[in-house]
Copies of this chain bind each other. A is one copy, B any other.
Amino acid sequence: MPAPIEFYFDFSSPYGYLAAQRIDDLGAAHGREVDWRPFLLGVVFKTTGSEPLLDIPLKGDYARRDLARSARRFGIPFVLPEVFPFPSVPACRAAYWLKAHDPAAAPALMAALYRRAFGEGEDIRTAEAVAEVAAGLGHDRDEILAAMQDPQIKELLKDEVAAAIDKGIFGSPYIVVDSEPFWGFDRLPDIALWLELGGW
Enumerate chain A interface residues (CB-CB to B < 8 A): 44, 47-51, 56-59, 61-62, 65-66, 69, 72-73, 165, 168-171, 181, 183-184, 186-187, 189-190, 193, 200
Contact = CB atoms under 8 A, between A and B. Distances in A.
Contact of A48 (B56, B72, B183): B56
B200 A59 contact: no
Contact of A58 (B56, B169, B184): B169
A18 to B, nearest CB: 13
A62 B174 CA distance: 11
A163 to B, nearest CB: 14
Given A49-B56, A56-B50, A57-B47, A73 B190 contact: yes
Given A184-B186, A186-B186, A57 B49 contact: yes
Given A72-B200, A73-B190, A59 B171 contact: yes
B170 A58 contact: yes
A49 B53 CA distance: 12
Contacts of A57: 47-49, 170
A168 B64 CA distance: 13
B58 A200 contact: no
A129 to B, nearest CB: 31
